[in-house]
Amino acid sequence: MSRIGNNPITIPDGVTLDIKDNVITVKGKLGELTQEYSSVSITVEDGVVRVTRPSDSKEHKAKHGLYRSLMFNMIEGVAKGWKKELELVGVGYRASNQGNVLDLALGYSHNIVLDIAPEVKVETISEKGKNPRVILTSFDKQLVGQVAAKIRSFRLPEPYKGKGVKFVGEELRRKAGKTA
């Protein structure tokens, strides 16, 4: 039994859900998202969405929870939005943005300039005495995560001093250095 797939999704005010030809379209105040689906049936009754599967085969069980989670993320995204925060830990690490162009100084001989998708809003915070932070917000959870992972991949946190780009609140596994 898919516990996630069996949970109903309530549609908040201001969000419309349209299902046509195996394509789900969700519209809200922040944007519009579409997703194709197969192997499950989706019903909307009184502002509640339910996902059901035709049989207990392995493929149907897998897709049952998958499409329910994707729909939930779409509905939450267009209603409230998604947010990821990255922290730059290291001496001389800086971040600045002009519109959707992010400029990162991560200890290389050159700055890394990243042009970010127009659906994602970028904000950089640099306070004295604190590590610089990059805040990404969008209505598309997958896109925010993908952009955050791309930024993190430029300088992964190392296990000895913890230098690098990490998510805010991420616990790093630290190692002891050399012993004399």
- Rounded to the nearest 10 degrees, the angle between the axes of helix 58-79 and helix 141-153 is 90
pLDDT above 90 (res 5): no
Q: How far apart are CA 124 and CA 45, in angstroms?
A: 42
Domain boundary among 61, 79, 97: 79
Residue 178: inside a domain: no
Nearest to 147 by CA among 135, 155, 133: 135
- Indicate whether 64 and 44 sit together in one domain: yes
User: 127 in a domain, yes or no?
Assistant: yes
User: Distance (Å, rounded) from C-alpha 90 to C-alpha 106?
Assistant: 8
Domain boundary among 49, 79, 109: 79
Judge if 149 and 96 occupy the same domain. Answer: yes
pLDDT digits (tens, 9 = 90+) for 120-171: 999 999 999 999 999 999 999 999 999 999 999 999 999 999 999 999 999 9
pLDDT digits (tens, 9 = 90+) for 85-105: 999 999 999 999 999 999 999
pLDDT tens digits along 7-24 = 999 999 999 999 999 999
Does 19 fall in a domain? yes
Distance (Å, whole) CA 81 – CA 74: 9
Q: Which amino acid is at 95?
A: A
Statement to judge: residues 69 and 137 lie in one domain? no
Indicate yes or no: pTM above 0.75: yes
Both 42 and 94 in one domain: the answer is no
Number of domains in the chain: 2
72 and 91 co-located in one domain = no
Q: How confident is the model at residue 178 (pLDDT cuts 50, 70, 90)?
A: confident
Alpha helices in 13-140 (DSSP H): 58-79
| Of 79, 103, 136, the domain-final residue | 79
Domain that holds residue 41: 3-79
Q: Residue 154 belongs to a domain with what CATH number?
A: 3.90.930.12
Radius of gyration from C-alpha coordinates of the chain: 21
